[in-house]
Structure 1
Amino acid sequence: MELPKLMTAQAAAKKLGIGPKLFKKEVLARRIRFISIGRRRKFIDEDIILYLNDQRERSKCRYTSGKTVHISHTTSVSKVKGISEVHL
């Protein structure tokens, strides 16, 4: 059995094409999985790919994905008056 190659946070962020601050934010939010080795966090390709797939699912446009039911109710009744009908 071959072990997966472990990456540092810096290498994983570079692979994703994002900065270290955003990468750390995603890790702390538990959106990017990691492996703890002592006090260090390491990352593997499989978890980076899972993160990308999750992002793809989340970023679907809400206007074009799936059916949406629009419901509107009009509760007011108004009548259009001509300018000659208005008393000032």
Structure 2
Amino acid sequence: MATLEESISTKTRSVISTLRLGYEGEAGNQLASLVDLLVQAKISNENMTQITNLLKVSHQALSNRDYLFAADIIEYEIYPRIICQ
């Protein structure tokens, strides 16, 4: 069975790939699953605040149908904050 960290890493990569392919509905479902995993993770308050703010930016990008920007935010801004825990 995968650890929580492995599950978060796998889900994050899956969200990024799905967004880059433009599969809006599936990406939204996977992003919701990722957020559920992040809630379970032991992330510092400072990092969680940053991640939450970046998720808001990502959500706005999704609302604007800018899937590549949303994927970039997750890959280059959110993911590094997750793995640094």
TM-score normalised by the chain length of structure 1 = 0.29
TM-score normalised by the chain length of structure 2 = 0.30
Task: Looking at secondary structure, tell me which structure has more strand per residue.
Answer: 1
Which structure ranks higher in relative contact order (CA pairs < 8 Å, sequence separation ≥ 6)?
A: 2
Task: Looking at secondary structure, tell me which structure has more helix per residue.
Answer: 2
Larger Rg over CA atoms:
1
